[in-house]
Structure formats: structure tokens, C-alpha cells
Amino acid sequence: MTWARTGQPGSRAELPGAGAIGQQVRRIASAPAWPTAAGRPVPVWAVVSAGLSPVLIVAGWLAADALQPASYSPLRQTVSVLAGHAGTDRWLMTGALLLVGGCHLVTAAGLTGARPAARVLLIVAGLSSIGIATCPEPAHGSTPQHLAWTALGAVTIALWPVFVARRSAPHPLILSPSGSAVVTAVFAALLG
């Protein structure tokens, strides 16, 4: 990682400590750093899509929450309220849900080396997010369609890590059967 010094065109200087950090970032971010079960690298666009998904949902939630009246409580009410008919500027959360669903679909398309069950579950999660966005909550109560999409998406995302686990070595700890089981247990606890 280098930068040009001010006043010296073309001159490059190394930032202190940036060399080692830059090498680590490039090693982690390079496509071969994410080998699939079949040994093929995951395309960069799939990695970007996977990383964008949580950023979009949190950004949508924070932006929509900031525009809500004081009567909205993020501790007592769900993000579905933000995308529902009672939400102020509900297009923000609805758009975030649609984009997250699309990110899940793109990521599933890029994980060609992952087990088919894991890819199918990611597709189901993406469709669930899109379903939640297209079946908003009414001003009071909920609809069976919204509840069905929400339940399906929540359970799918909670179970998905178990289906990604690999027994072959070498692999990151989080992709091991025990690591995936721990992540799934945490997701299930949060779901509960």
C-alpha cells in the first residue's frame, strides 16, 4: 500500500506498517483465498454480493429508523414495520429487502463449488427477502403471506451455515462442521 507525497509528483512512499497490512488484505481478498469444495475459487462478484448483503440490510434499517416517528421502537418492533404500510418512507426498508434478496441470489449463483443444498437454501433466503418486501405488513397486524415469508427466511438463514460445512482439509474453522454448528446454534438462539 503506497501513497504519493504531496509536492513530489510521481514519488511514492510506503505508509508505516501498511506493507504487511496491505499484503494481508490482498491475500484475504484475492479470489483463491475463498476456495470452494471443488477447489475452484469463488468469483469476486459473488464475494462482493455476499459482503454487501449485511451492509445493505443494516444501512436500510438505520436510514428507515431515523425517519420514523418517536412512537417507533427498534427494540419492540421489527424491521417489517419499517417496510410495512405504517412505516414512514417505507421504500427505504423495502428497497433494502429487495436488494438483500438479490444479493442472496447472486451469491448463490457464484457459489458453484458449494453443496447444492447450501445453494438452494441461499436461493430460498433470497426469495424470502423479496417475498417479505412484496408482502408488506398492513398498518395493524400482519398477513399470512408476510408471516410465511418471514418465518421461511428466518429459519433458512439460521440453518444455512450447517449446509456450508466442509469436511475436507484445509478449510477455515468457520467452515468446519463444528464451526458451522456453532454459527447455526447462535443464529437459532437469536431467532428464538
For 118, the enclosing helix (H) or strand (E) is: helix 116-134
> What pLDDT does residue 172 have?
59
Is pLDDT of 20 > 90?
no
**What does the domain layout of the chain look like in residue ranges?**
1-33, 38-191
Mean pLDDT of the chain: 78
Contact 153, 125 (CB under 8 A): yes
Higher per-residue pLDDT: 175 or 25: 175
3-class state of residue 82 by DSSP: helix
Average pLDDT over residues 84-88: 84
- What is the mean predicted confidence (pLDDT) over 136-155? 90
Per-residue pLDDT, averaged over 52-68, amounts to 91
pTM, entire model:
0.69
Quote the Cα angle for 188-189-190, to 5°.
90
3 state DSSP class of 35: strand
State the helix-helix crossing angle for 91-110 and 44-66, rounded to 10 degrees.
170
